Every structure is written in structure tokens, then in C-alpha cells.
């Protein structure tokens, strides 16, 4: 089975074109919600081709990381157009090369739905580790719909999105927050019965997550 680094190396030249209809119909409206009230140093994990750039708070310093050099190369080309200060680095979200508590916030859009099940807790642990105790973690992600119509549509899309993006509608990200030492602050649908905005923070008791032993997917150059 392909790793995410391989998958996104393959899909990178087509990514923006394939996403365009969804970007206009759906994502443009919901991406700003992720950044409301955020400032300071922000991590954008799984930054991809930089589709969040336009929505970064102008005064923020954003570090975008991604496992795919091909996706980052496309983000690099868009960097000049953004108003925020942006730094891009190739990195695996399950092994972040940043000191503890070095960010005010961490965000990820459509990252956790593409992370294999065994990488969910390690990735959440890493986001919890690098944000300050008062820090915020916000995730925008697909979930499996309950309604029949949307459920059928997701079943039809499933083989394609699994092959092309490594994505699944059945990740357990939200329920795995406590295992990663995080507390749920808010969880709400921003596209009815399909896309959730999840807000979390490091647990108040200071407990750190247990899931840091990570099976590595592909090799990473830093
Ligand atoms: C569906 S794309 C989303 C990209 C972007 N956030 C967006 O909203 O368009 C998922 C991104 O996560 C990246 N990714 C997958 N596994 C990763 C990992 N372990 N660490 C960092 N990035 C990863 C992929 O390379 C890809 O760019």
C-alpha cells in the first residue's frame, strides 16, 4: 500500500484542480472559521498546497509542515501572495521537530481523515505537545454522515478518495482526544452531517498523551 508521501507526490500536480469545485462550493466558506481569534505563532499541519494561506490572520507567523515535498513545492509558489509571515518545512506530523509549547495554536484541515488509524493518537499527542498550555488546536475534517443520502454519496466516493488521498470517513479523531492528553472544547458541523470543526486544548491536569510510539510512513527529509 502507498504511503501518504507517495500518494501526495502522485496527486500533487492535480490537487488544486481536483479540489477546485469543493473549494468554491464548500471550503472557502468554512476555512476562515478555523482562524477566528487566533494570533501569534500558528502551526498548520498538513499544509498541502497552501489552501489556507488566504485565511491566515495577517499578524500571525505561520509554520506550515507537510510530509510531501511535492505538495510543499506548490505551497511555496503561493507563499508570496499571503499577508501573514509563512515558513514551510517538510515534516511528519507524528514526529514534529519543534520544542514543547512553542506554538500559540495548531490547525489542520483535512489532515486527520488522511492519517492512518494508528497515526491518529501520535499526531494528536504531537499537536498537544507543541502548543502552549493555553494553546488551541483546531481541526477541520470529514466524518461519516448519518443521513441516508449523504451516506450513500460517501460510499460511492470512498474507493477514489482512499486510493487518491488515503482518506477515510471513519477516523475516530474526536473520541481519541483524551488518549492524546487533549480536552474537547467544541465540536460542531460546519457542513451539515459531513464536515466538523473540532476545537481542543491540552488537558487541564497537564497529562500528556500516551501514543508517541509511531509506525513511520515513508522516509522524511528535514
Ligand atoms: C487532503 S490534504 C489537505 C491539504 C490542506 N490542508 C488543505 O486543506 O487543502 C492532506 C495533506 O496532509 C499531508 N500529510 C499526510 N500525511 C501526513 C503526515 N504524516 N505528516 C504531515 N503531513 C501529512 C499530505 O501530504 C497532504 O498535503
Give the model confidence (pLDDT) of 93-140 as tens digits: 999 999 999 999 999 999 999 999 999 999 999 999 999 999 999 999
pLDDT (average), residues 66-90: 95
Average pLDDT score, the chain: 92
User: Which atom of ligand 1 is least distant from the CA of 7?
Assistant: 25
Report pLDDT digits (tens) over 145-192: 999 989 999 999 999 999 989 999 999 999 999 999 999 999 999 999
Return the H-helix or E-strand segment holding 74.
Answer: helix 69-78
| Claim: this prediction has a pTM higher than 0.75 | yes
Residue 168 in contact with ligand 1 by CB distance below 6 A: no
> Which helix (H) or strand (E) covers residue 71, if one does?
helix 69-78
In ligand 1, the atom with minimum distance to the C-alpha of 92 is: 20
pLDDT band at 208 (very low <50, low <70, confident <90, very high): low
Residue 214 has pLDDT above 50, yes or no: no
What percentage of the chain exceeds 90 in pLDDT?
A: 87
DSSP string, 107-171: EEES-TTTS-HHHHHHHHHHHHHHEEEEEEEEEEEE----SHHHHHHHHHHHHHHHHHH---S--
Amino acid 217: pLDDT: 44
Residue 45 C-alpha to ligand 1 middle, in angstroms? 7
| CB 51 less than 6 A from any atom of ligand 1 | yes
In this structure, what is the dihedral angle of CA atoms 40, 45, 47, 53, given to the nearest 10 degrees? -20
Q: How far is the CA of 166 from the centre of ligand 1 (A)?
A: 10
Q: Is the pLDDT of residue 218 over 50?
A: no
At 38, the pLDDT band (50, 70, 90 cuts) reads very high
Q: What is the pLDDT of residue 81?
A: 81
Average pLDDT over residues 70-88: 94
Cβ 71 under 6 angstroms from ligand 1: yes
The pLDDT score that the predictor gives to residue 200 is 98
Q: Which three cell numbers stand for residue 152?
A: 450513500
What pLDDT, on the 0 to 100 scale, is given for residue 210?
Answer: 57
Q: Is the pLDDT confidence value at 216 over 70?
A: no
The answer to whether residues 5 and 12 touch, using CB atoms and an 8 Å cutoff, is: no
CA of 68 from ligand 1 middle (Å) equals 8
Query: What is the CA(128)–ligand 1 centre distance, in A?
Result: 18
Q: CATH class for domain 4-202? A: alpha beta
> Do 139 and 198 contact (CB within 8 A), yes or no?
yes
Quick one: pLDDT at residue 94?
98
Residue 96: its pLDDT value, please? 98
pLDDT (0 to 100) of residue 1: 76
Look at ligand 1, atom 14, and give the residue with the nearest C-alpha.
Answer: 46
CA pair distance 68, 112, nearest whole angstrom? 15
Amino acid at each position: 500500500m502507498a504511503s501518504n508521501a507517495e500518494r501526495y507526490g502522485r496527486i500533487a500536480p492535480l490537487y488544486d484542480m481536483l479540489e477546485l469545485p469543493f473549494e468554491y462550493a464548500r471550503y472557502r466558506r468554512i476555512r476562515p472559521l478555523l482562524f477566528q481569534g487566533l494570533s501569534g505563532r500558528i502551526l498548520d499541519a498538513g499544509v498541502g498546497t497552501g489552501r489556507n494561506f488566504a485565511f491566515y490572520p495577517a499578524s500571525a507567523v505561520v509554520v506550515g509542515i507537510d510530509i510531501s515535498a511535492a505538495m510543499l513545492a506548490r505551497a511555496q509558489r503561493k507563499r508570496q501572495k499571503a499577508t501573514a509571515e509563512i515558513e514551510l518545512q517538510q515534516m511528519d506530523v507524528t514526529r514534529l521537530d519543534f520544542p514543547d509549547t512553542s506554538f500559540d495554536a495548531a490547525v489542520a484541515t483535512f489532515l486527520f481523515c488522511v492519517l492512518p488509524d494508528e497515526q491518529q493518537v501520535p499526531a494528536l499527542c504531537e499537536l498537544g505537545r507543541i502548543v502552549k498550555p493555553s494553546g488551541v488546536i483546531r481541526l477541520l475534517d470529514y466524518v461519516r454522515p448519518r443521513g441516508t443520502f449523504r451516506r450513500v454519496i460517501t460510499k460511492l466516493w470512498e474507493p477514489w478518495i482512499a486510493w487518491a488521498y488515503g482518506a477515510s470517513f471513519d477516523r475516530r479523531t474526536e473520541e481519541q482526544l483524551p488518549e492524546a492528553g487533549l480536552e474537547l472544547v467544541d465540536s460542531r458541523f460546519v457542513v451539515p452531517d459531513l464536515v466538523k470543526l473540532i476545537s481542543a486544548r491540552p488537558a487541564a491536569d497537564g497529562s500528556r498523551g500516551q501514543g508517541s510510539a509511531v509506525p513511520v510512513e515513508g522516509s522524511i527529509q528535514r
